[in-house]
Structure 1
Amino acid sequence: MLLHLILFLSTFFSVLHLLSAHRFKNEKILYNVPQRGISVIIPCYNEAPILKYTIEGVLNIEYSNMEVIFINDGSTDDTFEVLDNLLDLHIWNEKADISLSTKVREIYKSSKHPFIYVIDKYNSGKADSLNIGVAFARKEIIVTMDGDCVLEKSALANMNVIFDDEDVIAAGGVVHIMQMFKLNRRPSRIVVMQALDYIKGFYIYKASLAYNKALNIISGAFGAFRKSVIDEIGGFKKGLGEDIDITIRLQEYAQKNNKKVIYNTNSICYTECPETLIGLIRQRVRWQKGFMDAILNNSSFLIKNLLKNHVCFFMIVDALLSNSLATIVFIVNYILLLFKLFHGYPIHMFAYYVTTIVFNIMSSIIAITEAKKNVT
């Protein structure tokens, strides 16, 4: 009975997300909006091989009122040396009196590009690196990225438009796979599979959540926040799912203060994905651990508002029951179907497979069509 209930919920929400994504529309675009100051914070841990592309992406951004803050989180490879060579760093003492963590070794500024800073620190994790970056930042809007990400040149301009609405406190953008769009090499099958998964995730699942006012994760690879609100809610918390955790806390803040957390498919970022099966499995296990950590850390808010807040409802009933648990259920179900096949009931196997394949083909076509409208 429980297996059938979870499978029903999974099917129900899959159809709901497909229909809701079709109805999703970006916030109305305003033109001639003044450029707000944006601080781009990029934590780096052992990102030496990809930093060249990250920096090239930063330099190609079409936005003038910004600063970029790289945080070297105690990397054990040549991350700092690559930053130094590409940016021509010199020690910067102008703001040495700010109340940063004692984990900071030194602050540097680029001689080539005066809007770029590098904070070199001892290793203490991504959340702490982000908090140090937020403390150092001097702009109104905070954009967080991963060290292996590249922003589309218009990404910040499109985010700036979103924050013209004073009620918007945070916004998520779209993340695509870099190996499919930016790197001059043929992607492997595992990369292609992930690229399709990302496209469906961002153009169907997240678009649906945004339409239903239930966005429960602003990706750590690319998100934008009002600095004042980040400070007010206490910054990023340590853990594997710091991006999910802060999104939930921002949604709690939004509920109490009548504010908005939104999603914008016009702002695009590219990230590097695992290229081996082992790497992919490790990443997905880490994501699931982060998801569970975020739910446990915010369980009081989520359970208390389960039937009153769309974020809480979708987080528990959809993401937990019909997504995470459904993965286990699907494996069990496939085993049961195979058992039935060998005992003379092949029609069940055939019907299940056909339904699954047809639905996945439909959702993939819709997602790819939407992606083509945005990717340049």
Structure 2
Amino acid sequence: MIIIFSIMLFSMTILFPIYHMINGLFAMKQYTRKKTPISERKRGISVLIPCYNEATIIETTIESMKKLTYKNVEFIFINDGSADHTLEKICESIQLKQVDKRYLLTKLEFKPIKAIYEGIQHANFILIDKLNGGKADALNAGIMLATHTIIITLDADSILDNRALDRINDAFEDKEVIAAGGIVHVLQGRKWKNGTLFPTLKTKLIVKLQILEYFRGFFIYKSSLAKSNALSIISGAFGVFRKDVLLHVNGYRNTVGEDIDITIKVQNYLKQHPRSKIIFLPDAACYTEVPESWRDLYKQRIRWQKAFTDCLVLYKKEFLTTIFTRKLSFFFLIDSFFIGIVCSYIFFTGVIWILFNLNTFDSRFILLYIILSSTCNLLYNFVALYVASKYNQIFPRVNIHSIALTIVLDLIFFRFLNILIICIGTISYFIKREGWNKVARTGRDYSFEQGN
């Protein structure tokens, strides 16, 4: 009986990745085939940047936004009661004047606003200075002040690609599109060449592993889920929504997983508006800082796992009752929860059991598991790199050896580390929930580095 259960379990952990690889390839072909020309109409876009203790990176973010060529856009920085010099850094980067700005009165909840500022030379740069309430609270304040119908949520350590706003403008030409997820690339894994940022693996090992992980996560997994109408996470680092939809779902909930929660709320909106759709834009990119220390990576991933668990607890009844009638519920519970979390615990339990029963356990089963699992994961990396290349994400040939080494280390180390963090993070959620739980910023001047 145990053998049969193990075979069934192992089959599921193999079949779902294979499904996402195939689906991701079809999604790539479908997207490139349906890609529309650049729209002449430049619809208004509001970019919301919640800031909490971002003094080391915020100047880089602001300078990158000044260089964007899209005209009909406003940038709203929300200083959420930062305890460092974030407010001063923003004021130094943009000449500001305090304004008595009228804003939309909504039922969205957020902490009191202390002051609102507007750029003198850059009138499309706006600063909200408010009391600390958390990221969701800050985003609600930004939604309230936004004047345009399309809203982008962007992390303060993220830089928009110059073509991203045009891609978003084109996508929202379709009135049925109510939300979209852009692709997030690793900022430390970029170099400047002929006016464009290109990927490179000339960086730390921990960053290399995350570069490939982001390729897999976005080009295959998110792309596949979006094609299946089952996207449950529009990344908080870079998401796009219609403002009226955000208001209809009462904005963001104050939780550690605000990006998952808002995506599920928007997905529920689709049930009342079946012709609407949520899409994934693989060529609308932003570049974000990733952790450069194992300690910060651990903190980040624990927070991510708590965010997932929080939404699992909140929406469990809804998902359970629609598991076989709704794709979102099916993939959230079977793929993300069962394969992602339950199987992680089973894996570690199995490893411990095998260690205590080496004399009686059939080693051929272990060998078969290692071969099939490693082959599947290896193929997953290759497919991710192939899809990425179709969107001009191609590493220089000198990086070939580094790519091979990174893939090997991902197979024998990084994926097991992530499994361990999933187990710890799930338990930690029930012990202590937390807010921003920020990781350290590097404070690096990327514009200087990229220019050399």
Name the TM tier (shorter chain).
over 0.9
2:21 is the alignment partner of 1:21: no
Residues 59-85 of structure 1 show CA distances to partners (whole Å, capped at 9, x for unaligned) of: 232311110001111111111111111
Q: Which residue of 1 aligns with 2:345?
A: 328
| Contact 1:210 1:262 (C-alpha < 8 Å) held by counterparts | yes
Q: Distance in 2 between matches of 1:92 and 1:268?
A: 32
More displaced stretch, 93-102 vs 5-14:
93-102
The corresponding residue for 1:223 is 239
> Which residue does the alignment assign to 1:117?
126
**Match of 1:269, SS?**
strand
Kindly provide the CA deviation profile for residues 88-123 of structure 1, in whole angstroms up to 9, marking residues without a partner as x: 222122337866855211111122321111111111
Q: Please report the TM-score for the alignment, with normalisation by the length of structure 1.
A: 0.93
Alpha carbons of structure 1 residues 102 and 322: separation in structure 2 relative to 1, 3 Å: closer
Deviation at 1:164, TM superposition (A): 0.9
Q: Deviations over 1:262-321 (max 9, x none)?
A: 111011111111111121111111111111111222233322221111111111111100
1:250-289 matches, cutoff 5 A: 250-258=266-274, 259-289=276-306
Q: Which has the larger displacement, 94-103 or 199-208?
A: 94-103
Deviates more, 1:58-67 or 1:154-163: 58-67
Counterparts of 1:101 and 1:352, CA distance in 2: 50
2:24 and 2:224 in contact (8 A); partners too: yes
Could you say if the C-alpha distance between residues 3 and 111 of structure 1 is closer, same or farther in structure 2, counting changes exceeding 3 Å? farther
List, as ranges, runs of 4+ consecutive aligned residues in structure 1 with deviation greater than 6 Å: none
Inter-CA distance 97–332: structure 2 relative to 1 (3 Å threshold): closer
Task: Check 1:115–1:16 CA distance in 2 against 1; reply closer, same or farther (3 A cut).
Answer: same
Q: Letter of the aligned partner of 1:59 in structure 2?
A: K
- 1:10 is aligned, of 10, 13, 23, to 13
Matches within 5 A, 1:165-180: 165-180=174-189
List aligned pairs for 1:139-150, cutoff 5 A. Answer: 139-150=148-159
**Number of matched residues?**
376
Please tell me whether the aligned partners of residues 212 and 310 of structure 1 are also in contact (alpha carbons under 8 angstroms).
yes
Shift of 1:32: 4.6
| DSSP 3-state at the match of 1:352 | helix
Q: What amino acid maps onto 2:257 in structure 1?
A: G
Structure 1: distance between partners of 2:124 and 2:54: 21
Q: Distance in 2 between matches of 1:298 and 1:235?
A: 17
Q: Cα deviations across residues 109-165 of structure 1 (Å, max 9, x unaligned)?
A: 122321111111111000010000000000010000111111111111101111111
- The partner residue of 2:115 within 106, 120, 133 is 106
Deviation at residue 245 of structure 1 after TM alignment? 0.8
One-letter code aligned to 1:57: S
**Distance (Å, rounded) in 2 between the aligned partners of 1:329 and 1:156:** 44
For residue 192 of structure 1, the aligned residue among 208, 211, 215 is 208
Give the 3-state SS of the residue equivalent to 2:217 in structure 1: helix
Partner secondary structure for residue 208 of structure 2: helix
Task: Check if 1:347 corresponds to 2:364.
Answer: yes
Secondary structure at the residue paired with 1:114? coil
Unaligned runs of 5+ in 1: none
2:410 alignment partner in structure 1: none
Rounded to whole Å, the distance in 2 between the matches of 1:190 and 1:276 is 7
State yes or no: 1:129 paired with 2:138. Answer: yes
| Cα distance in structure 2, aligned partners of 1:360 and 1:64 | 43
CA distance in 1: counterparts of 2:22 and 2:154, whole angstroms: 30
Percent identity over paired residues:
36
Bigger mean CA offset, 310-319 vs 335-344: 335-344
In structure 1, C-alpha distance between the alignment counterparts of 2:54 and 2:17, rounded to whole Å: 36
Q: Which moved more, 1:11-20 or 1:335-344?
A: 335-344
The 1:337/1:189 distance shift into structure 2, 3 A limit, reads farther
Are 2:322 and 1:293 aligned? no
CA shift in 2, pair 1:185/1:309, >3 Å: closer
Shift of 1:342: 6.2
The separation in 2 between residues aligned to 1:148 and 1:5, in whole angstroms, is 42
- Aligned equivalent of 1:70: 77
Q: Distance in 2 between matches of 1:4 and 1:277?
A: 34
Shift of residue 6, structure 1, vs aligned partner: 4.0
Equivalent position of 1:306 in the other structure: 323
Which of 163, 166, 174 pairs up with 1:154?
Answer: 163
Deviation string 1:195-238 (CA, Å, 9 cap, x unpaired) is: 11111010111111112111111000001000001101110111
Residues 372 and 49 (structure 1), Cα distance of their counterparts in 2 relative to 1, 3 Å cut: farther
Cα distance in 2 between the residues matched to 1:334 and 1:277: 24
Distance 1:316 1:81 in 2: 45
Segments of 5+ residues of structure 2 without an aligned counterpart are 193-199, 394-452
- Letter of the 1:370 counterpart: V
Q: Distance in 2 between matches of 1:77 and 1:375?
A: 38
For 1:174, give the aligned amino acid. I
